[in-house]
Chains A and B, each alone.
Chain A
Amino acid sequence: MYKLGIDVGGTNTDAVLINEDLEIVAEVKRPTSGDIYEGIVSSIDTILKKSKIDPKKIRQAMLGTTQCTNAIVERKHLAKVGILRIGAPATLGVPPMIDWPTDITQCVVAETTVGGGFEYDGKELAALDENAVKVFFEEIKGKVESIAISCVFSTIRNDHEIRAAEICREVMGEDIHISISSEIGSMGLIERENAAILNAALFHVAESFTEGFARSLSEMGITNAEVYLSQNDGTLMTMEHARRYPILTIACGPTNSIRGASYLSKLKNALVIDVGGTTTDFGVIQNGFPRESSIAVTIGGVRTNFRMPDVVTIGLGGGSIIREKADGRITVGPDSVGYKITEKALIFGGDTLTATDIAVRLGMFELGDRSKVEHISFEFATKAMAVIKAMAEDAIDAMKVSGADVDVILVGGGSVILPESFEGTSSVIKPEYFGTANAIGSAISKVSGTFEKLIDYDSVPRDTALENAKAEAIKLAVSAGAIPETVEIIDVEDVPLAYYAGNTNRVRIKAAGDLN
């Protein structure tokens, strides 16, 4: 059996084929098409021809895509949404979408806040005002395509959200698309509600890319495969899940590339450098998963509390333009010839000195016409490379958590421009197939479960509480499709509540395992 991993990026659609021993059989890079479908078909077609395998033997197909991010950023193809918040009399001072950019609020047709919600300890804040819920849904029936439901402390107890969803279906029919905040986001009402609203608005986009992917697979004869999509946390979800929670595909790109690098190098703890044409991302892999950023993430101007990989991006890439200043200093980037490198760079007969030209001049690799860069003095090229190296070393140092040396994995099409040793590193690995690490990351992803709860360690001792929470997270991972024996706890976090008596902690556990 084979796994097919596909990554649809802004410029390229990458595909890789992996066999049951998780060895890479073939890789391809094709230009991304406007509706993603053609780019996928073209990459699958090429990879099948290249590998000569029977498409029926592909049993798992994974897709990583930026479609949802683009739809939100460009405000395109968003569905008409109705918002029900359960929380009065709390929360009334801060209505839904309070700090959204006005252009994106237009996808919301109606919103209301009704009585209900919970306290931090699960006590009812107010009874659910079922009548008001019913009246709201009756009013907006036929005017909206999708519903977002949020509720105060629904991460502690979701009964009110579930009941409101039932009422919604009774009024608007079984087919209405409903996004429930407790199934999408974590603690923090506004951020969780925002994610639920965006999720509701992405309902068309989700249908289109899940169907587009399914159609391209079946047209290429891949009819025996389970189909999955990449999430922002480096794990997979089923097609069905992606249709319901498209927002979870946000920012899976850097995640996949970091995990792909880890897989290719067989390192579970390392620093990953992904060099593109214009920029380079520096990320960290910890226990096989990307280190997450602690900063709140905005998507198209909307605040959410999604965990994103902690990535530092600098303006250095294969196409970075090299200049010599009057005082003899050499600068690299931040501007780049980008995708035009094949016409602008000196080695391709162009007129712009790029980082790639410098690397070719120094004999680091063969590309284009080497004679076109021979007029550059070795001294100048060496100095330029020293600048490139220093830029990378600064970013490496910024990503390190201690003074100890780290292992570095180099991936991405542009990584040929970097030297193979850096200050502060113990080893630098450039694995085979470094160019399609993101598609590989998608193909080898695991499935996960996350459990989050506020727990008072005075009533439940910390050890017991963490054990119970871990068991819950493992259960969630298994129900998401993980093989029980392979499930591991990959993240444990407990933070005490500020200005709060007793010993209440926010506990968050994540478990992940191999796909069944």
Chain B
Amino acid sequence: MGAIREKGPVTLLDPEEVPDDALVVPIAMMGAPTVLAEKAIGDKEYKTLYDMVSQFFGKKIYALLPIEAGGVNSMLPIAACARLGLPLVDADGMGRAFPELQMVTFTLGGINASPMALTDEKGNCVIFETITNKWTEELARAVTMSCGGAVSVALYPMTGKQLKEYGVKNIVTRSQKLGEAIRTVKNCTDDKSPEEHFLEFSESYKLFKGKISDVLRETRGAFNFGKVVLEGIGEYKGKKAFVEFQNENLLANVDGEILATVPDLICLVDAETFVPVTTDALKYGKRVYVVGLKCFEMWRSPEGIELVGPRYFGCDTDYIPVEERYKGGTANV
């Protein structure tokens, strides 16, 4: 926001507007949001990343894009574009958020995360060239720790052609529209209830409505695992549900029946405001809806399921699309 106030608005490009041979790069932060909430971001990191990548390829970066549509990583590329005067491409590599670096559609397209550029606010710079995307994840996490827990990275450098083939298109505009719809959901004047409006514009399946009665958390590796337990309210009174998460929600279970799993989206939204409740903000007593959204089609391929399906995250179940698991329910989609 400050970057835009200072440097003016950012141009948003439709992926089709990007030339096939152009160099495009996703920008992201890696590390703990809690650390980022203290150290924020310096003023040179994006320029440093730009120079590192351009120098490596001997070619100027044409545009940046977000790697995921969640948390700070959906916003930082906008700030980076504003500071560098570059356009932003309306696409990302997830169509949602995932906790690990290799979990992008670009991996399915055989695109490498490396060469990946990493820099911290102090000016330390590293370029990783690795044999697999999983290795990039390993090595980059280690460096992130040494650098103080939050760094900026540019990864998955690719051509315009690759982006058009494997990127999740129009995700920035879709996110913006969703945000706008959530902000105005209470102002709707027709006969539909805010709930109906929300389910309709977000194209989501209502899985549960309840009160958080317990939150179990555990840290393994760099990730937060946990389970949030809910007691039904309204028409779900007397029912119980739980949602398992590893930073992102993995599986929703209502009264013993699995209603959705990754890679479909499972979102907890505030029962009053419809504002999403992230795993960090889960707290006893909060009233939420649990909704499921269809994931990007490419994730539903066998390769996609292998990379981000329920079994990868340790959930002992096959992937069944949310719209098939969800039948005989009350949502209209």
Which of A's residues lie within 8 Å of B, judged by CB? 87-95, 98-99, 117, 119-120, 123, 125-126, 152-153, 187-190, 284, 291, 294, 310, 397-403, 495-506
Contact = CB atoms under 8 A, between A and B. Distances in A.
Contacts of A189: 37-40
A98 B2 contact: yes
A502 B31 CA distance: 12
Contacts of A91: 39-42, 121
Nearest to A494: B217
B280 A498 contact: yes
Contact of B222 (A152, A153, A402, A500): A500
A93 B47 CA distance: 12
Nearest to A97: B2
B2 A500 contact: no
Given A153-B38, A497-B35, A89 B122 contact: yes
A497 B32 contact: yes
B1 A499 contact: no
Contacts of A397: 233
Top 10 A-B residue pairs of the complex, sorted by shortest distance between their CB atoms:
A93-B41, A92-B43, A90-B121, A94-B40, A496-B219, A90-B39, A500-B32, A401-B285, A119-B148, A294-B283
B210 to A, nearest CB: 11
Interface residues of B, number: 49
8 contacts: A187-B34, A189-B40, A398-B287, A496-B219, A497-B34, A497-B219, A498-B223, A499-B224
A192 to B, nearest CB: 9
A117 B35 CA distance: 13
Contacts of B284: 401
A501 B221 contact: yes
A403 B149 CA distance: 41
Interface of B: 1-3, 30-35, 37-45, 79, 83, 99, 121-123, 141-142, 145, 148-149, 211, 213, 217-219, 221-224, 231, 233, 247, 279-281, 283-287
Given A99-B1, A498-B280, A120 B231 contact: no
A495 B34 CA distance: 11
A398 to B, nearest CB: 6
A119 B149 contact: yes
Contacts of A117: 39
A91 B31 CA distance: 16
A190 B40 CA distance: 9
Contacts of A89: 42-44, 121-123
Contacts of A98: 1-2
Contacts of A153: 38-39
A498 B33 contact: yes
B231 A90 contact: no
Contacts of B287: 398
Contacts of B40: 87, 90-94, 189-190
Nearest to A397: B233
Contacts of A503: 219
Contacts of A403: 231
Contacts of A398: 287
B39 A87 contact: yes
A120 B231 CA distance: 37
A187 B37 contact: yes
A291 B284 CA distance: 10
Contact of B281 (A294, A401, A499, A502): A294
Nearest to A151: B38
B281 to A, nearest CB: 6
A499 B285 contact: no
Nearest to B233: A397
Given A190-B37, A498-B32, A501-B141, 8 more contacts: A91-B42, A125-B122, A187-B37, A189-B38, A401-B284, A496-B218, A499-B32, A500-B149
Contacts of A501: 141-142, 145, 221-222
Nearest to A191: B37
Nearest to A291: B285
Nearest to B282: A294
Nearest to A119: B148
A241 B286 CA distance: 34
A187 B38 contact: yes
A152 B148 CA distance: 12
Contacts of A125: 39, 121-122, 148
Contacts of A497: 32, 34-35, 149, 219
B296 to A, nearest CB: 23
Contacts of B148: 119-120, 123, 125
Contacts of B122: 89-90, 125-126
A496 B213 contact: no
B2 A93 contact: yes
A502 B146 CA distance: 12
A243 to B, nearest CB: 28
A125 B35 CA distance: 12
